[in-house]
Structure 1
Amino acid sequence: MDFLRPATWEEALAAKAAHPEAVPIAGGTDLMVELNFGRRRPACLLDLGRIGELARWHREKGAVRLGAAVPYREIAAALGGPLPALAHAARAVGSPQIRNRGTVGGNLGTASPAGDAHPALLAAGAAVEAASVRGTRLIPVEEFFTGPRRNALAADELIRAVRIDPAGGPQEFAKVGTRNAMVVAVCSFALALDEAGRSVRTGIGSAAPTPRRAREAEEFLAGVLAEGGHWEDRRPPPPSAARRFAELAAAACAPIDDVRGSAAYRRHAVAVLARRTLDRTWTAYRGGERCA
């Protein structure tokens, strides 16, 4: 196995262009498990640990530009205000040791349907900044996942950052698992309300071949809130609407039976999470808070 360790981003892009088979590694919390158990044996590793810019975040044109190697620990500690759902998801990732090493860039690169960051990124409307020696492009996160553990990156591309607009209202993330953390989610759900845009966005994890949005549920709830004047008077949506929102969220799933749970249980659990996150986000909205 060859090991490449570029010192700059330009060197990393050149190395990836010359060795498109090279697998990038930063925190290594997913890849090292696969290597240790012999599930994967790449011909070449591309270590991005020396490239400091990947481990930093900043505001850029109103958005948060999150370097691909910013650890979950920092997201949870520093970004709870502008990115509440992602910060909440970061706190549910693994153990403290994993949160010190694991990154959103690695989560996206692995493209597991159960990645904890994915529902929050979908609900927030994030875009993935992919780069190569040919240039840089932004990929909407809902277009990034192309199949189980497959993504939209070209062979010579690397994830440089994730761009996310700050929350325009309350956001929530919830997942079902045998424990709060240190566990792969049976299913997960994120919900974001945008007061200025009068919009609703969702994200579902571990309940389909890829992370996905529940678009019919979003459109239904946005219509109920607009037609009923709920944005203006802050009255909660009626229970019948909350139930229908949950049903539509569950209908957006395409789960399977596996060792962590049955398909039927996942659909039921997503409906429960949809109702709970709606209740929590609306309670926060009524109180003028950004997140529950």
Structure 2
Amino acid sequence: MDFLRPASWEDALAAKAEHPAAVPIAGGTDVMVEINFDHRRPEHLLDLGRVAELHAWETDGRDVRLGAAVPYARVIEHLRRELPGLARAAHTVGSPQIRNRGSVGGNLGAASPAGDSHPALLAAGAEVEAESVRGTRLIPVEEFYTGVKRNALAPDELIRAVRIRKATGPQQFSKVGTRNAMVIAVCAFGIALHPGSRTVRTGIGSAAPTPLRARAAEEFLDAALEEAGLWESRRAVPAPVAAQFAELAAGACNPIDDVRGSAAYRRRAVGVMARRTLGWVWEEYTTGERSAPCA
């Protein structure tokens, strides 16, 4: 196994173009586990740790531009206001050591259906900034996942950054597991209110071959909130509306039975999380007070 260690982004792109099968590594929290257990033996590892710009973020404009190697701990510490849903999800990632090494870019590259950042990225509205020596393109996050642990990157592309819409309304994240952190999600759910466009976005993790949005649930809730004038009145969401939203969210799932949970349990849990997180974000929208902890 050859170890490539570029000092700049341009060198990294050149190395990836020369060795398209090279596996990028920054925090190493996913890749090194696979290598240590002999589940993966790439010919080349591409260490991006010395590329400084991947560890930085920008908050100018309507989006946060998050470098691919910014660790979860920095998101929690510095971007809680701009990206509350992602910060909540980051709280549930592994141990403090993992949160100081692992990154959203690495989570995207691994493309595991159970990745904790995916529901929050889907709900917030994110784009993946992919680059190669051929140029740069933006991939909507819902189009980035193409299968179990597969993504839309071309062989010569690397993730440079993730552009995430700044929160204009409350956002929530919920995860089912044997404990809050240091566990792979049985299933997870993210939700974000976007009052400017009067829309709701969702994200579901570990309940289908890829992370996904519950689009039918979103469309139903958008219409129900508008019809009842709830964006203006800020009255409580009627229980039947919340129940239908939860049912549609559960219906969006296509889960499997595995050692962590059955398909039936995952569908049920997603419905429960959808109803609860809707209650939390709507209470925050109507009162301005957070109703649930970040973790």
| Closer, same or farther: CA 194–4 of 1 in aligned 2, 3 Å | same
| Closer, same or farther: CA 183–75 of 1 in aligned 2, 3 Å | same
Question: How many angstroms does 1:225 deviate by?
Answer: 0.5
| Closer, same or farther: CA 190–273 of 1 in aligned 2, 3 Å | same
Matches within 5 A, 1:32-51: 32-51=32-51
Q: Is the 8 A contact 1:111 1:150 kept in 2?
A: yes
Whether 2:279 is the aligned partner of 1:279: answer yes
Q: Is the 8 A contact 1:167 1:290 kept in 2?
A: no
- Number of residue equivalences: 292
Residue identity matched to 1:33: V
- 1:46-98: per-residue Cα shift (whole Å, max 9, x none)? 00000010001112432100000000000011111011000000011000000
Question: How many angstroms does 1:290 deviate by?
Answer: 8.0
| Closer, same or farther: CA 97–216 of 1 in aligned 2, 3 Å | same
Unaligned runs of 5+ in 1: none
- 1:166-200: per-residue Cα shift (whole Å, max 9, x none)? 01100000000000000000000000001111000
Q: Residue 215 of structure 2 aligns with which residue?
A: 215
Unaligned runs of 5+ in 2: none
Matches within 5 A, 1:151-162: 151-162=151-162
Q: Residue 87 of structure 1 aligns with which residue?
A: 87
SS in 2 for 1:101: coil
Matches within 5 A, 1:227-266: 227-266=227-266
Residue identity matched to 1:147: G
- 1:117-152: per-residue Cα shift (whole Å, max 9, x none)? 000000011000000000000000000000000000
Residue identity matched to 2:214: A
Q: Residue 22 of structure 2 aligns with which residue?
A: 22
SS in 1 for 2:154: coil
Q: In structure 2, what is the Cα distance between the partners aligned to 1:47 and 1:290?
A: 40
SS in 1 for 2:100: helix
Residue identity matched to 2:192: A
Question: How many angstroms does 1:42 deviate by?
Answer: 0.4
- 1:188-219: per-residue Cα shift (whole Å, max 9, x none)? 00000011110000000000000000000000
Residue identity matched to 2:107: N
Residue identity matched to 2:35: L
Q: In structure 1, what is the Cα distance between the partners aligned to 2:42 and 2:103?
A: 20
Q: In structure 2, what is the Cα distance between the partners aligned to 1:118 and 1:277?
A: 16
Q: Residue 6 of structure 2 aligns with which residue?
A: 6
Whether 2:201 is the aligned partner of 1:201: answer yes
Q: In structure 1, what is the Cα distance between the partners aligned to 2:121 and 2:194?
A: 15
- Percent identical among aligned pairs is 71
Residue identity matched to 2:94: G
Question: How many angstroms does 1:289 deviate by?
Answer: 5.1
Q: In structure 2, what is the Cα distance between the partners aligned to 1:155 and 1:228?
A: 49
Q: Residue 179 of structure 2 aligns with which residue?
A: 179
- 1:237-273: per-residue Cα shift (whole Å, max 9, x none)? 1100100000000000000000000000000000000
Q: Is the 8 A contact 2:280 2:290 kept in 1?
A: no
Moved beyond 2 Å, runs of 4+:
288-292
Q: Residue 72 of structure 1 aligns with which residue?
A: 72
Q: In structure 1, what is the Cα distance between the partners aligned to 2:67 and 2:289?
A: 27
* C-alpha RMSD over aligned residues: 1.0
| Closer, same or farther: CA 289–194 of 1 in aligned 2, 3 Å | farther
Q: Residue 55 of structure 1 aligns with which residue?
A: 55
- Taking structure 2 as the reference length, the TM-score comes to 0.98
SS in 2 for 1:129: strand
Residue identity matched to 2:58: H
- Taking structure 1 as the reference length, the TM-score comes to 0.99
